[in-house]
Amino acid sequence: MKKLINDPARVVDESVEGFGQAHADLVRVHTDPLFVVRADAPVQGKVGLVSGGGSGHEPLHAGFVGAGMLDAAVPGAMFTSPTPDAIAPATTAVDGGAGVLHIVKNYTGDVLNFETAAELADAEGVEVRTVIVNDDVAVEDSLYTAGRRGVAGTLLVEKIAGAAADRGDDLAGVAAVAERVVGSVRSMGVALAAGTVPHAGTPSFELTEQEIEIGIGIHGEPGRRRIPMAGADEITELLTTPVMDDLGITGEDQVLLLVNGMGGTPLSELYVVYRAARRLLEGRGAQVTRSLVGNYVTSLEMQGASVTVLRLDDELTTLWDAPVRTAALRW
């Protein structure tokens, strides 16, 4: 294993420390327990948004802390849920008196730990609501999940709910917007080659030079099936068709198309996938009115990509377009 790290046991702490130094205008890093809050937290009167999960998916979640998106992110160890004793103080730290929304990817450990943290914060007088993101259509249930997994759609929930909080929606309102995004977003991914978790030292799974895995999870957990390597258009169709089918995409729809890199695939290839996915959506008559292409919800240096489609309406479009100022997403 070759990695730009000093010690597998220290990589998350050192990385988050560097992140805090590089983005001191946007965030503050709290150590022991480890969490990241926006520099001006808590924002009085605004609903606070907290997300988190295992590390290794950067820029998710700390890269999305800042005005118009998350108020706090709680990084766990690599591919390991953060514990309630980190999530709870992050929650109270960003409560500006209007309560806090937890945005949680649907993995059993995350769901349980955020639930416990919500109870701890509630005991401190902070009202918490929770939204569970489960956009991955590849599999029902999985290694770490009851039900579908939460993947790249999470960033769309964070952005749009963040804009709702920013415009002054109350906790029930922000939660309702977040739930509406969850109900309208679906994803599916592919892996060409695995990443390596530092403390494991070997790749999370093995694929031969002729094999890819359709429906891969962001921790390398199994997808739908392994198939022989194919062209980008064909692979993209295997990802996009189930997403469109699950959403029931028709000629009536305006959509946001996110092509997300898993960390080790060149940007040039992500745009090849984007081109193919867009053509498929347009083939059903849908209009792609918003787009995002890049490495946002990664799996270390995994080679691969995912396709995410969000059905838009005027309100979601307006919230998507609202200003955002974070390390990884800014306009």
Residues annotated catalytic, as ranges: 57, 219
Residue 331 binds its own copies (CB under 8 A):
yes
Of 32-40, 135-143, 216-224, 260-268, which segment contacts its own copies by CB under 8 A?
260-268
Of 86-94, 131-139, 267-275, 309-317, which segment contacts its own copies by CB under 8 A?
267-275
Least separation, in Å, of the C-beta of 210 and its own copies?
A: 8
Choose which of 16, 86, 101, 152 interacts with its own copies (CB under 8 A).
16
Instruction: Determine phi and psi for 113, rounding to 5 degrees.
Output: -70, -40
Residue 55 binds its own copies (CB under 8 A):
yes
Residue by residue, what is the 3-state secondary structure of the chain?
Answer: CCCCCCCCCCHHHHHHHHHHHHCCCCEEEECCCCEEEECCCCCCCCCEEEEEEEECCCCCCHHHECECCECEEEEEEECCCCCHHHHHHHHHHCCCCCCEEEEEECCHHHHHHHHHHHHHHHHCCCCEEEEEECCECCCCCECCECCCCCCCHHHHHHHHHHHHHHCCCCHHHHHHHHHHHHHHEEEEEEEEECCECCCCCCECCCCCCCEEEECCCCCCCCCCEEEECCCHHHHHHHHHHHHHHHHCCCCCCEEEEEEEECECCCHHHHHHHHHHHHHHHHHCCCEEEEEEEECCCCCCCEEEEEEEEEECCHHHHHHHHCCCECCCCEC
Residue 12 binds its own copies (CB under 8 A):
yes
User: Which of 225/330 has CB closer to its own copies?
Assistant: 330
Least separation, in Å, of the C-beta of 174 and its own copies?
A: 25
Binding-site string for its own copies from residue 71 to residue 110, where x marks contact by CB under 8 A and - marks none: ----------------------------------------
Binding-site string for its own copies from residue 184 to residue 213, where x marks contact by CB under 8 A and - marks none: ------x-xx-x-------------x--x-
Residue 138 binds its own copies (CB under 8 A):
no
Least separation, in Å, of the C-beta of 290 and its own copies?
A: 10
Residue that the structure tokens 């990664």 belong to: 298
Residue 58 binds its own copies (CB under 8 A):
yes
CA–CA distance, 97 with 75 (Å, rounded to integer): 24
Choose which of 2, 123, 125, 251 interacts with its own copies (CB under 8 A).
2
User: Which of 17/170 has CB closer to its own copies?
Assistant: 17
Choose which of 28, 226, 275, 284 interacts with its own copies (CB under 8 A).
275
Question: Which residues form the interface with its own copies (CB under 8 A)?
Answer: 1-7, 11-12, 14-19, 21-23, 55-56, 58-59, 63, 190, 192-193, 195, 209, 212, 229, 231-233, 235, 257, 263-275, 278, 288, 291-293, 295, 298, 300-301, 303-305, 325, 330-331
